[in-house]
Amino acid sequence: MDFGSSVLNPSQSVAIGIGLGAVDAFIFSAHLPNAADVRTAQPGNNDVDATRRQAVGLCIAVNGLVSVMTRNWDVFLIGGIVTVGIAFFYIHANAVDPSTGKMAEPGNAKAVPDQDNASTYPMADYGYSSGTEAA
């Protein structure tokens, strides 16, 4: 697909692409916690995966919009490479088992860890017991 004549010269398209990569990094930082927090959580967290997909979709939309406005594929490619790199970084962080520090096997990644009550905190008791109602 030909966008027609680009409105940017090559040095400008690289600069816009790098700026677009920074916007993509900001989108990921606004949607997801930092990678250290994702890495220390249980592997296979569905919420992290869903928000990562949302961030990737938004980055693709922004990259597409800017590349259509500038009529330049280089801008889209540089932004896309940054998007893919950051997405892979979060995919890997979400797959790491914090107890071993290695990637969990695909079949062993659990969204919710086993409920053995060893790592859970008791719920607060607010004085309501079963059978009594608050006034």
pTM comes to 0.71
Domain assignments of the chain as residue spans, ordered by start: 10-103
- Per-residue pLDDT reduced to its tens digit, 10-61: 888 899 999 999 999 999 999 999 988 999 888 888 999 999 999 999 999 9
Of 104, 100, 79, nearest in space to 91 by CA: 104
DSSP element (H, E) containing 96: strand 96-97
DSSP element (H, E) containing 102: strand 102-103
By the 8 A CB rule, do 15 and 72 touch?
Answer: no
- Per-residue pLDDT reduced to its tens digit, 87-102: 999 999 999 888 888 8
Whole-angstrom Cα distance, residue 30 to residue 28? 5
